[in-house]
Structure 1
Amino acid sequence: MSFLSVVAAISLVSLCHAGTVHISDCMRTNNQRNPENLVHVNTASANPFPVVIPGDVDIVGNLDLYKNLTGQLSMSVSIKRKVLGLWVPVPCVSNVGSCQYADLCDMLSSNFMENGVPNCPPQLVAEGLPCTCPIPAGHYAINHGHFTIPELSGVWSFLAKGDYQLRATLTDKSRNAQVACHSMDLSIGSKCSFFDCLFG
């Protein structure tokens, strides 16, 4: 599974909490759309929650893309983990964590293009969803997203059991203008041992 596939699955999962959406569009004021806004997530849910790694998760959700998604977009991701009651930033290590990505479309292409042809994850193909630029404006929904998240090790180990706050922003580099911002909460669990499962 590629880096972006794992990030996409975890990001989609992070949009929800036991059936209740816990995502905030930080470009909206009084629930009114900012005219600069490129994308807005409407609803999302996951089962199970907290997410168990390794394990399977079913994801349902939809979003609106207000303008064509093309080049000139940079992405900033901030991840904080709750440690002893404090929110501690997760550093960027090997492009994982609180990182800056200079070109979103290039990142999508490097992960999902093969011999010049899009090679999207099967979950997106089944829903008719694109995974490389350009992505036309429109309403996009995932209705039967079943993902298997593998056991994480090495640089992925920061995604161990815990509570996280994530914030992702997109910037139009041609105008140096923020065009998307979402913040979200995520809880990750782990498979329980025999006694943990019995006694919770």
Structure 2
Amino acid sequence: MKSFSLALLLLVCLPRLAPARKDSWHLKKVSDFSWENCDDGQDPMLIKSLTVKPVPVNIPGNITVSMEGTTGVHLSSPIKGVVVMEKEVAPGIWFQLPCYKKIGSCIYKDVCETIDYFIPPGVPCPEPFHTYGLPCHCPFKKGTYSLPKTVFQIPPLKLPPSLSSGTYRAHIVLSNGTTLRNTRLGCFKIMITLKEASRPMPGKSDH
């Protein structure tokens, strides 16, 4: 699944090392999976609930995700998105993952166009969007959007353990791309720990 293809983030030039930035990255609660809205949830777009199980997330493996979000405004193109994604390489030391094929630390001039890149217009919304009647293209009407507990499969990634496991964090800002001031619509911080699933030892069998 494209949404879980961390390999795409790590196939280009070495990212830069950077110390932790306490101002923009600080999470009030930190665990193997943490999230929060920026600035105590003052933006029109908010995450109300978000759960991921199990944590750490095993790769490959199955994860169960549930989410509820709200928007107090009608969302239509263009919506600018700025994503900074980093991996912790030592306590308090992070490197920024590059932007590769629209995944990673990227600036999206229009998130709506990016959605169309992954789900071409005219193609039926994939699961679980179809089952739960969730839209998968702009515009998005004002209201509440809920995803009940849904199981996703993370495929094997051909990466060394140092890259397929560890702690990652993302800082995501969405804004109205039609205004000169880029009025902020939503801001989210997410931290998650990944763990490579155990592999059978070479030459070992069940007999």
For this pair of structures, how many residues does the alignment match? 173
**How has the CA–CA distance of structure 1 residues 95 and 109 changed in structure 2, closer, same or farther, with 3 Å as cutoff?**
closer
For 1:11, the equivalent position in structure 2 comes to none
For 1:166, the equivalent position in structure 2 comes to 170
Are residues 1:24 and 2:29 paired?
no
For 2:45, the equivalent position in structure 1 comes to 39
**How has the CA–CA distance of structure 1 residues 153 and 95 changed in structure 2, closer, same or farther, with 3 Å as cutoff?**
farther
Are residues 1:177 and 2:189 paired?
no
For 1:6, the equivalent position in structure 2 comes to 4
Which structure's CA Rg is the greater one? 2
Counterpart amino acid of residue 186 in structure 1: I
Answer yes or no: is the 8 Å Cα contact 2:71–2:143 preserved in 1: yes
Answer yes or no: is the 8 Å Cα contact 1:152–1:159 preserved in 2: no
CA distance in structure 2 between the aligned counterparts of 1:153 and 1:120, rounded to whole angstroms: 28
1:169 Cα shift?
Answer: 0.6
Alignment equivalent of 1:125, drawn from 130, 141, 162 = 130
1:153 Cα shift?
Answer: 4.1
Counterpart amino acid of residue 58 in structure 1: T
CA distance in structure 2 between the aligned counterparts of 1:117 and 1:140, rounded to whole angstroms: 22
Gaps of 5+ in 2: 6-29, 202-207
Gaps of 5+ in 1: 8-15, 196-200
Answer yes or no: is the 8 Å Cα contact 2:87–2:168 preserved in 1: yes
CA distance in structure 1 between the aligned counterparts of 2:140 and 2:51, rounded to whole angstroms: 23
SS at match of 1:117: coil
CA distance in structure 2 between the aligned counterparts of 1:158 and 1:134, rounded to whole angstroms: 40
Answer yes or no: is the 8 Å Cα contact 1:80–1:87 preserved in 2: yes
Deviations 1:127-154 (A, max 9, x none): 1111111111111111131111112348
SS at match of 1:192: coil
CA distance in structure 2 between the aligned counterparts of 1:96 and 1:106, rounded to whole angstroms: 14
SS at match of 2:100: coil
**How has the CA–CA distance of structure 1 residues 159 and 109 changed in structure 2, closer, same or farther, with 3 Å as cutoff?**
farther
Taking only the aligned residue pairs, the percentage that are identical comes to 24
CA distance in structure 1 between the aligned counterparts of 2:194 and 2:155, rounded to whole angstroms: 13
For 1:96, the equivalent position in structure 2 comes to 103
